[in-house]
Amino acid sequence: MSLQKQILTMAMKAKLSTLWMFYLLNTIFRDIHEFIEPGFIEKVMTGTFNGVQITENLLLIGGFVAEVPISMVLLSRLLPYGPNRWANIIAAVITLAFEINNGTTDLDDTFHMVIEMTALSFIIWSAWRWRNPSSKRHAVVQEASS
What is the DSSP secondary structure assignment for residue 46, as one 8-state letter? Answer: T
pLDDT category, 25, cuts 50, 70, 90? very high
pLDDT category, 8, cuts 50, 70, 90? low
Strand partners, 49: 52
Summarize pLDDT for 128-141 with one digit per residue, the tens.
999 887 776 554 45
Helix (H, G, I), strand (E, B) or coil at 131: coil
List of residues 6+ apart from 123 with CB closer than 8 A: 16, 19, 20, 23, 88, 92
For the chain, give every domain's residue range. Answer: 3-145
List of residues 6+ apart from 113 with CB closer than 8 A: 30, 99, 102, 104
Q: Residue 145 pLDDT more than 90?
A: no
Q: Residue 22 pLDDT more than 60?
A: yes
Q: Residue 10 pLDDT more than 90?
A: no
Q: What is the mean pLDDT of residues 88-95?
A: 96
Q: What is the pLDDT of residue 102?
A: 76
Summarize pLDDT for 66-80 with one digit per residue, the tens.
999 999 999 999 999
What is the DSSP secondary structure assignment for residue 39, as one 8-state letter? Answer: T
Could you tell me the pTM of the whole model? 0.81
Distance CA 76, CA 34 (A): 29
Please, what is the Cα angle at 87 between 85 and 90, to 5 degrees?
110
Q: Residue 106 pLDDT more than 90?
A: no
pLDDT category, 146, cuts 50, 70, 90? very low
Distance CA 32, CA 36 (A): 7
Summarize pLDDT for 116-127 with one digit per residue, the tens.
999 999 999 999
